[in-house]
Structures are given as structure tokens and as C-alpha cells.
Structure 1
Amino acid sequence: MTTSYETISTSLHGNVLSATFHAPPINLIGPEVVRDLVGLLEELSHPAAARVVVFDSADPDFFFPHVDLTKVPEYTAEAAKAGGPGDASLGMLFHQLSQLPAVTIAKLRGRARGAGSEFLLACDMRFASRENAVLGQLEVGIGAPPGAGAIQHLTRLLGRGRALEAVLTSADFDAELAERYGWINRAVPDAELDEFVAGIAGRMADFPRDALIAAKSAINAISLPTPADVRADAAMFQQLVRGESSQERTAALFQRGLQTRGRAELELGDVLGELSAVD
């Protein structure tokens, strides 16, 4: 890799690239992260790039908690640079991630909710700390459906009933339940996670690149949503997230400390459930 990024540190070991997100204070997906991700995906699209990419977070409590809700127009503008104004959405950016000519692995510690979960779902594989990983789709609890891939991926991975449970409850899922449902590949003891992921990444990185990418492309052709499906989900999210109900619930969450390192983020699934009772 030749480019340095503001919010992503990279290191190359043979044919495996490690990409670590670091966007203090809590790794929100904002314009800086999206700008860096657009650049990194462009680098990884070249044939000479790494065969395997492992994404993780420098923050043990937060992988990506969700988007920065104070900077939606800014990060959307950055996402548009990957595909043009007609594809100005995280959903289409994450769709590009799924189609990279490289194997992508998400190594999850901490919280990945909303678009953070959708980033993981766009990766080829997901391995999570059994003790220290939380996943959730918070959008319906705020007032909009997920718009960056969760509906498409979770329905395919979990089946209809469990996808409805995950999306409509906006609840937090620990790693063991997420593994049982199919949200992640495996829940691994935290002390073993780094070695496990390094082993599986290194194993694949030693295989012929053409075979890896041909097999991935064939599976993608069966399992990935179409661009039209991704765009439709993004449009519905963008319409409803601007509505009065969503705005009121988001304001109530900010009053409770949303986007700060407190209970509103650490226990967001519980906090969302409390809104209907008190607001």
C-alpha cells in the first residue's frame, strides 16, 4: 500500500493486508472514514493488491457504532465519489466492498450497529470476540429501515423470521447469538481471536489468486443483492430518516448522550427500547 489515511492504518504481511479503523472518540462512520474507505477500496481493486484484507478497530469498545448522525450530508457526499451522484449512499459503497477482487474478513471486537453492522455484512467473512462483540440494527428503533445492506444480507443469511427479529426489534445481539443466527461466521474466545483470524487469512493468502477470486465471484453471483435492490433500500432509508418521528427519536437519544462514550452508546439496544416507554 502506498497511500496513508487519516482514519485507517494499514500494514501488509505477505499477501494479507491489515486495515485498522481509528476515528476517535468512538469510531463513528463520518466523512473522514468514508473518504478513507473510498480511497482504500480503489487501491484494493487493482490486481496487484493484497489477496486477503482483515478489517478491525483500534477501539476495543466500538468497531463502528453507527454513522455520525450530525454529518449525514457530508459522508453521503464522500460516498458519492466512489460511484457518482446517482450512487450517493453507503449501501452502494458497501456493495463495492463485497465485489472487491480480494477476500475481506471483519475481525470484530466491540459494538457494530447500524451501518457498522452493514459494513461487516458487506465483508466476505465475520469473526467476533465471544466476550466483547455486539451487533445490532438500530434503524427501526430510530424511525427508518436499514438502508445500507442489512435487509438484503440478513434476510439471506438468517432467513425471514430471524431477519425480522434482528431488524424490527433493533436489539443488541451478543456474539454467541449472532453466530447461532448466522450473522457472523464464528464467535471465537477473545484471547484466541487474533491468532485464529491470522491463521485463516494466511491460509487463503497462500492459495492462487485467480482461484480465490473466481470462487468468490461465483458465490457473489448467487448471494449478493442487485444494485437496484441496494438503491431502493437506500432511498427508503433516506426518505424516512428525515421524517418527524425519526427526528424526534434521534433528538431524544442525543439528550441521553448519543455519540458520546456513555450508556446511550454502550447499551444502545436497551436505550432504544426505553424510548417508547418514556417519550
Structure 2
Amino acid sequence: MTTSYDTISTRLDGNVLSATFNAPPINLIGPEVVRDLVGLLEELSHPGAVRVVVFDSADPDFFFPHVDLTKVPEYTAEAAKGGGPGDASLGMLFHKLSQIPAVTIAKLRGRARGAGSEFLLACDMRFASRENAVLSQPEVGFGTSPGAGAIQHLTRLMGRGRALEAVLTSADFDAELAERYGWINRAVPDAELDEFVVGIAARMGGFPRDALIAAKTAINAIGLPTPANVRADAALFQQLVRGEGAQHRAAELFEQGFQTRGRTELDLSEALGDLKAVD
């Protein structure tokens, strides 16, 4: 890799690239993270030495908690640079992540909610700390719907009923339940997670590139949503997130310390459940 990034640190070990997100104070997905991700995916879109990419977070409490709701237009504008003005959405940027000519692994500790979960879903594989991982799609609790891939991926991975449960309840899933439902590949004891991911990444990194990418491409042709479906979900999110209901509920959460390292963000599922019901 030749480029340095403000919110992503990279380290190349043979054919395996480690990419660690670090965007204090809590790793919100904002314009800076999206700008760096666009740049990294552009580099990874060109076949080179990297065969496997492992994504993780420098923050033990937050992988990605969700998008920065105060900067939706700004991060959307950055996302457009990854796919053009017609594809100005995180959903299409994450769709590009799913298609890069390298195997992508997400190593999860902490919370991955909303677009954070959708980033993980766009990766080829997800391995999570059994004791220290939380996944959630909280959008319906805010008054909108997932717009960056969750509807497409979770329905394929879980089936209709479980996808509806995950999306409509806006509840937190621990790693063991997420594994049982198919949200992640495996829940691994925290003390073993690093070694496990290093081992599986190194194993695949030693295999022929052409075979890895050919197999990934064939599976993608069966398992990935179409761009039209991704765009439709993104458009619905953009419409609903600007609505009165979503704005009202977000304002209540901000009064409680939302988007800071406090109880509201740590226990977001509970905070959403406590909000006043609105039509």
C-alpha cells in the first residue's frame, strides 16, 4: 500500500493486509471515515500483492456504532466519489467493497450497529468476539429503515422471519445469537480471536490468487443483491431519515448524550425502547 489515511492504519504481512479503523471519539461513520474508505477501496480494486484484507477497530467498545447523523449530506457526498454522483450512498460504496479482488474479513470487537453492521455484512466473512461483540440494525427504532445493505444481506443470510426480527426490533444481538442466526460466520472466544483470524487469513493468503477471486466472483453472482436493490434501499433511507418522526426521535436521543461515549450509545437498544411512541 502506498497511501496513508487519517482514520485507517494499514499493515501488510505477506499477502495479508490489516486495516484498522480509528476515528475518535467513538468511530462514527462520518465524512473522514468514508473519504478514507473510498481511497482504500480504490487501491484494493487494482489486483496486486494483497489477497486478503482484515478489518478491525482500534476502539474496543465501538467497531462502528453507526453513521454520524449530524453529517449525512457530508458523508454521502464523500461516498459519491467512490462510485460517481449517481451512486451517492454508503450502500453502493459497501457494494463495491463486496466486489474488490481480494478476500475481506471483518474481525469484530465492540458494537457494530446500523451502517457499522452493514459494513461487516459487505465483507466476505465476519468473525466476532464471543464476549465483546454486539450487532444491531437500529434504524426502525429511529424512524427509518436500513439503507446500506442490511435488508438485502440479512434476508439472504437469515431468512425472512429472522431478518424481520433483527430489523423490526432494532435490538442488540450478542455474538452467540448472531452466529446462530447467520449474521456472522463464527463467535470465537475473545482470547482466541486474533490468532484465529491470523490463521484463516494466512491460509487463504497462501492460495493462488486466480482461484480465490474466481471462486469469490462466482459466489457473489449468486449471493449479492443487484445494484438496483441497493439503490432502492438507499433512497428509502434518505427519504425517511429526513422525516419528522426520525428527526424527533434523534433529537430526543441527542438530549440524552447520543453520539458520545455514554450510556445512551453503549446501551442504544435500551434507549430506543424507552423513547416515546410516535405515529
Alignment TM-score, normalising by the size of structure 1: 0.99
Partner of 1:275: 275
1:242 and 2:242 correspond: yes
Partner of 1:73: 73
Partner of 1:143: 143
Partner of 1:206: 206
For 2:169 and 2:49, how far apart are their aligned partners in 1? 40
CA contact (8 A) 1:141 1:272 kept: yes
CA contact (8 A) 2:112 2:135 kept: yes
The DSSP-based 3-state class of the residue aligned with 2:261 is coil
Describe the shift of the 1:219–1:264 C-alpha distance in structure 2 as closer, same or farther (beyond 3 A): same
**What is the percent sequence identity of the aligned residues?**
86
**Displacement, 1:19?**
0.1
User: Which structure 2 residues correspond to residues 46-85 of structure 1 after superposition, within 5 A?
Assistant: 46-85=46-85
CA contact (8 A) 1:43 1:49 kept: no
Partner of 1:154: 154
Partner of 1:173: 173
For 2:91 and 2:278, how far apart are their aligned partners in 1? 33
Between Structure 1 and Structure 2, how many residues are aligned? Answer: 279
**Structure 2 regions of 5+ residues with no counterpart?**
none
Residue-by-residue CA offset, 1:29-68 (whole Å, 9 max, x unaligned): 0000000000000000111141000000000000000001
User: Which structure 2 residues correspond to residues 1-279 of structure 1 after superposition, within 5 A?
Assistant: 1-276=1-276
**Displacement, 1:174?**
0.3
Describe the shift of the 1:237–1:277 C-alpha distance in structure 2 as closer, same or farther (beyond 3 A): closer
The DSSP-based 3-state class of the residue aligned with 2:257 is coil
Structural RMSD (CA): 1.1
The DSSP-based 3-state class of the residue aligned with 1:9 is strand
The DSSP-based 3-state class of the residue aligned with 2:147 is coil
Alignment TM-score, normalising by the size of structure 2: 0.99
For 1:207 and 1:268, how far apart are their aligned partners in 2? 41
**Displacement, 1:276?**
3.3
**Displacement, 1:224?**
0.2
For 1:237 and 1:71, how far apart are their aligned partners in 2? 14
**Displacement, 1:278?**
10
CA contact (8 A) 2:129 2:193 kept: yes
One-letter identity of the residue aligned with 1:178: A
For 1:154 and 1:263, how far apart are their aligned partners in 2? 27
The DSSP-based 3-state class of the residue aligned with 1:276 is coil
Residue-by-residue CA offset, 1:48-97 (whole Å, 9 max, x unaligned): 14100000000000000000111111100000001111100000000000
**Displacement, 1:98?**
0.2
**Displacement, 1:277?**
6.0
